[in-house]
Amino acid sequence: MKNKRILVVGMGRSGKAAVTALVDAGAFVAVQDSKPADAIEPEFLRLMEEKCVAMFFGEKPSDMSIYDMLVLSPGVSPRLDFIEDARAQGTEIIGELELAYRICRGKFLAITGTNGKTTTTTLVGEIFKAAGKDVCVGGNIGRAIAVDALEASEDTWMITETSSFQLETIIEFRPVISAILNLSSDHMDRHKTMENYGRTKAAIFMNQTQDQYCVLNYDDRPASNLQKERAAKQKWSLSAEFRNWRLGLLHWQTE
């Protein structure tokens, strides 16, 4: 990222984390948000004035050709007109999750699904901590993952809750382990169809290789059907029917 001209779009939690990470990595950073400057926190505004080469609050940049890359916050639609203009000019467009992956030396474990992501991510983080691992828990849960990305070592596990909005803007992102918990209708105003929504969720494993792992919920048909294009080794959760059968068998063997 050093010396690249990068526009960060959206000044929510992810956008602020992206700005900090990019400046620390030596990039020339500009920021854009639909809110006017007087709606931005004064302290954050002063920080941006110190760190950024340009700010566009309540307005769009007039010249998108000057940027090497755009980094979008999850809440920003990648189909906004000025973003489409940048894409048409060949500008690389990524999200904060992709940025964190590129600047991080740690190993990613990524969890997605319509429901239960936060609980599962939190529990997995606690399991890894109890096992004595160096762990950062973040993403769509509480803390933007880019905050810790630069400080992570090769031994750090980045336990990451990933939303469909974050997965829309990945390119190289490749977790060592991925998981899709379930899939039901959600965010249709953005994804339009269940097919698009499922395809976006499936992006979590699109770059994985044969020596990596994906966990899919066998009890959830829409989630389990996403396995068709998999490259990673597959690990299935036991179905409820099989679990009950196994428990019955164990009970019978002990009598």
Q: Which domains does the chain have, with CATH numbers?
A: 5-98 (3.40.50.720), 104-236 (3.40.1190.10)
pLDDT value at residue 249: 46
**Hey, which residues are catalytic here?**
117, 140, 187
Q: Which one, of 74, 106, 129, lies nearest residue 176 by Cα?
A: 106
pLDDT reported for residue 227:
74
pLDDT at 254: 41
CB contact set of 145 (below 8 Å; sequence gap of 6+): 17, 96, 97, 100, 136, 138, 139, 158, 160
What pLDDT does 43 receive? Answer: 86
Residue 21: C-alpha distances to residues 100, 129, 171, 230 (Å): 8, 25, 19, 32
List % helix, strand, coil for the chain (3-state, nearest 5): 40, 20, 40
| Two tokens, residue 95 | 């999200």
Six-digit token string for 168: 């829309």
Handedness of CA 108, 166, 148, 160 (dihedral sign): negative
pTM to 2 decimal places: 0.84
The whole-angstrom distance between residue 108's C-alpha and the CA centroid of its chain comes to 10
Q: What is the pLDDT of residue 167?
A: 93
Flag residues of the chain having pLDDT under 50: 238, 242, 245-247, 249-255
